[in-house]
Amino acid sequence: MDIASSLAAYWYFHLPNFILAVLMYTLLGRVLLGLMVDADSPNYIWRFFCRITDPVVAAVAIVTPKVTPPVLIWLFSFVWLFWLRVALHYTLLLFNLAPRIGGAAS
Amino acid sequence: MSRNFYFIGIAFFGMINGIFNQLALIFTLLYVQLLAGPLLFGSLSLTLMFASLMVSTATVILGGIPAAIYERVTGASESTDASLWIWLAGTALLALPATGNFLKIGL
Task: Summarize pLDDT for A10-42 with one digit per residue, the tens.
Answer: 888 889 999 999 999 999 999 999 999 998 889
Largest Cα–Cα distance in chain B? 46
Nearest CB to B34 within list A63, A83, A106:
A106
- Chain B residues whose CB is inside 8 A of the A25 CB are 39
B72 and A62: CB-CB below 8 Å? Answer: yes
As for the ipTM of the complex, it is 0.90
Q: What single-letter DSSP state applies at residue A42?
A: -
- Chain B residues whose CB is inside 8 A of the A106 CB are 34-35, 37-38
Cα atoms in the Cβ-side hemisphere of radius 13 Å centred on B103: 6
- Chain A residues whose CB is inside 8 A of the B38 CB are 106
Is 80 exceeded by the pLDDT of residue B93?
Answer: yes
Nearest CB to B71 within list A21, A66, A101:
A66
- Chain A residues whose CB is inside 8 A of the B67 CB are 65
Q: What is the mean pLDDT of residues A91-102?
A: 81
A83 and B54: CB-CB below 8 Å? Answer: yes
Q: Nearest CA of chain B to the CA of A41: how many Å?
A: 27
Give the percent of chain B with pLDDT over 70. Answer: 99
Q: Nearest CA of chain B to the CA of A59: how many Å?
A: 12
**Predicted TM-score (pTM) of this structure:** 0.90
Q: What is the pLDDT of residues A31-90, one digit of tens each?
A: 999 999 998 889 999 999 999 999 999 999 999 999 999 999 999 999 999 999 999 999
Q: Say how far apart CA B2 and CA B22 lie, in whole Å.
A: 32
The pLDDT value recorded for residue A8 is 79
B-chain residue closest to A67, CA distance: B79
The pLDDT value recorded for residue A51 is 95
Is 50 exceeded by the pLDDT of residue B78?
Answer: yes
Task: Please tell me chain B's helix, strand, coil percentages from 3-state DSSP, rounded to the nearest 5.
Answer: 85, 0, 15
Burial (CB < 10 A; 0-12, 13-18, 19+), residue A1, is middle
Is 70 exceeded by the pLDDT of residue A103?
Answer: no
Nearest CB to A63 within list B3, B65, B76:
B65
